[in-house]
Amino acid sequence: MEWTKYALALTMGAGLLILFGRKGQKRNKWLLGAGAGIGLAAMDLVVQYIWNREIWEMAISVLRGTAFFSLLVLLGYGKEWLEARGHGQEEKETVHPVRQWMQEYQESFAQLSRSFCMAPLPVQGLDRVDRIWQSRLAESRLAAAGQLQEMGNILEGAMERIYSTREDEGLEQEIGNRLRLMGVLVQRVFLYGVKGKRRQLYVTMRTKKKACVPVKKIAQVLSEIVDCEMMPARDSRSFVTQDRTTVLFVEGMAYNALYGVKKATRKDEAVSGDNFSVFWLPDGYFYAGVSDGMGSGLQACTQSELVLDLMEQFLEAGFSKETAVRMINSSIVLQPDSPVFSTVDLASIDLYTGVCDFLKIGAAPSFLRREHGVECIRGTGLPAGASSSLSLEPYRIRMYDGNLLFLVTDGVLNALPEGQEEEILKTLIQGLAPGTPSEMAERLLEQVQAYGGARDDMTVLVAGIWRR
């Protein structure tokens, strides 16, 4: 009967699937279709040949087998599509327990933050001292609410970082095979690659016996494998030895950054109240910042140093600039004694694109020296610790090869004639002879001091980018 041919053909395809098929492989539907289609065509052709049928009837048999093959393959694709759709809906509905816990923590912090913002109504008839304490208490509540809100944001960022870092077995095997030829044994490979961000590879490895392999050679091999220039992260170790170690490799950057700084202390003080911080992060950002503690001396120095230390630790831990500044501001506001205010002048340069973002909290203007002029970047707002509600107005510019950024404290501008500070400083910067950032910072400070109006601590930080 006619249906028996189709049953036998399907049996042949199933046998082929059992012999050569593998679970999870997309070729299974092709094996089933090929076995069934070829079997049906072969059976038809044998019958047609025995009965001495015409050629066109034999051709119809071949077409029937081909159609049966195509139908089975299409059914296989349809089954995979339905399974993928069902799996996608299941993933959307099912949340990983750890992610669910993190989301619940975040919601708890947000709710607690809102409760802190529900400050009591002011009591009528209070004297001046009580009103000051009530105002201070309200500011403390708002600062604590801000910290709790930022903690929720931190948890969300940490959760995304965790779930964006994954293992890639295929990539790990390929890297392991290539590096084994160099005498390097790869144990684990983690890939971090969120959409819109640069890829990062964490490779845990060691060498055979007592060999030492330069990390730069390993980076060259990784560049060939991932088809993108990879380089070891800054401050990573230079050699891989027989001791197991994890090295971070990042995409090659377009620019290199250099910096230089020069400071001058107020005449009647032994310690400058100004401080600076410069550091690089693995995601390709170069940070340069200065902080001016209000007043001068040891107390101002301690406060500005604390602000920059906290800023560096927050940013290195992966927090955003805005989150870091708000957390620091809240910690100063919540101090039991009268807080010592500090300015924050932070510039972050993307060494892949040259884009520079400024974050100025009560800081003096900064200056960008380009090929044909000097641009002034001003900020607004109060210093850190002056208020629980911090106004952040980020400013973004594009830097190019050879551009220099000058970050200065108030003491530099105050040493120049009143009302002409910015114009004079722009003229001095434009007239500086070419040199290293350290040399230019020293020359600029000498020219400012020549005006004879120095009354405060002065700091000049110069940072520039150059094409690699």
pLDDT band at 30 (very low <50, low <70, confident <90, very high): low
Rg of the Cα atoms in the chain: 34
Contact 324, 314 (CB under 8 A): yes
For residue 257, pLDDT beyond 90:
yes
pLDDT for the residue 432: 92
Alpha-carbon span 203 to 245, nearest angstrom: 8
Query: 430 pLDDT exceeds 90?
Result: yes
Q: Which of 277, 259, 281, 268 is nearest to 328 (CA)?
A: 277
Residues 6+ apart with CB under 8 A from 108: none
Which of 108-117, 324-333, 444-453 holds the top average pLDDT?
Answer: 444-453
> Taking the alpha carbons of 406, 410, 415, 417 in that order, is the dihedral positive or negative?
positive
Which of the pair, 387 or 377, is modelled with greater confidence? 377
Contact criterion met (CB below 8 Å) for 215 and 247 = yes
Q: Where are the domains of the chain?
A: 2-93, 97-165, 168-251, 255-467
% of the chain at pLDDT higher than 90: 21
3-state SS, residue 177: helix
- Could you tell me if 205 and 187 are in contact, meaning their C-beta atoms sit under 8 angstroms apart? yes
Across the range 253-275, mean pLDDT stands at 89
Sheet of strand 404-408: strand arrangement: 255-264, 458-467, 404-408, 366-370, 373-377
Residue 359 burial by CB count (10 A; 0-12/13-18/19+): exposed, middle or buried?
A: buried
Question: What pLDDT, on the 0 to 100 scale, is given for residue 10?
Answer: 63
Q: Which amino acid, 320?
A: S
Give the span between the Cα atoms of 6 and 407, in whole angstroms.
82
Which has more pLDDT, 115 or 220?
220
Residue that the structure tokens 């959760």 belong to: 159
Give the distance from CA 169 to its chain's centroid. Answer: 24
Chain centroid offset of residue 52 CA = 74
Q: pLDDT tens digits for 296-328?
A: 778 888 888 888 888 888 888 777 787 777 777
182's tokens = 């160099």
pLDDT surpasses 70 at 366? yes
Q: Residues 413, 417, 423, CA angle at the centre, nearest 5°?
A: 65
What pLDDT sits at residue 325? 79
Of residues 91 and 80, the one with the higher pLDDT is: 80
Q: Is the pTM of this model over 0.85?
A: no
DSSP per-residue string spanning 364-421 = PPEEEEETTEEEEE---SPPBTS-SS-----EEEE--TT-EEEEE-HHHHHTSPTT-H
**What mean pLDDT, rounded, does the chain reach?**
77
Report pLDDT for 91.
45
How far from chain centre, in Å, is Cα 353?
14
- Residue 352 exposed, middle or buried by CB count within 10 Å (0-12, 13-18, 19+): middle
Question: 118 or 284: which carries more pLDDT confidence?
Answer: 284
Above pLDDT 70, what percent of the chain? 59
Is residue 327 within 8 A of residue 315, CB to CB? The reply is no
More confident residue, 446 or 130: 446
Instruction: Answer yes or no: are the C-beta atoms of 385 and 143 closer than 8 Å.
Output: no
Model pLDDT for residues 82-135, shown as the tens digit of each residue: 666 655 554 444 455 556 666 666 676 666 666 656 555 555 556 666 666 666
pLDDT of residue 377 exceeding 80, the answer is yes
Mean pLDDT of 127-149: 65
- Does residue 241 register a pLDDT over 80? yes
Burial level of 178, CB count in 10 A (0-12/13-18/19+)? middle
What average pLDDT does the segment 56-71 reach?
Answer: 65
Strands 373-377 and 230-232: unpaired
Q: DSSP alpha helices (H): ranges in 265-337?
A: 297-316, 321-333
Return the CATH class of domain 255-467. Answer: alpha beta
pLDDT at 69: 64
At residue 215, the 3 state secondary structure works out as helix
* 33: exposed, middle or buried (Cβ count in 10 Å: 0-12, 13-18, 19+): buried
Residue 372 clears pLDDT 80, i.e. is over it: yes
Euclidean distance between CA atoms 16 and 34, whole angstroms: 9
CA 394 to chain centre: 18
Contact 340, 299 (CB under 8 A): yes
Separation CA 94–CA 88 (nearest Å): 10
Q: What is residue 311's predicted lDDT score, i.e. its pLDDT?
A: 87
Question: DSSP readout, 419-438?
Answer: T-HHHHHHHHHHTPPS--HH
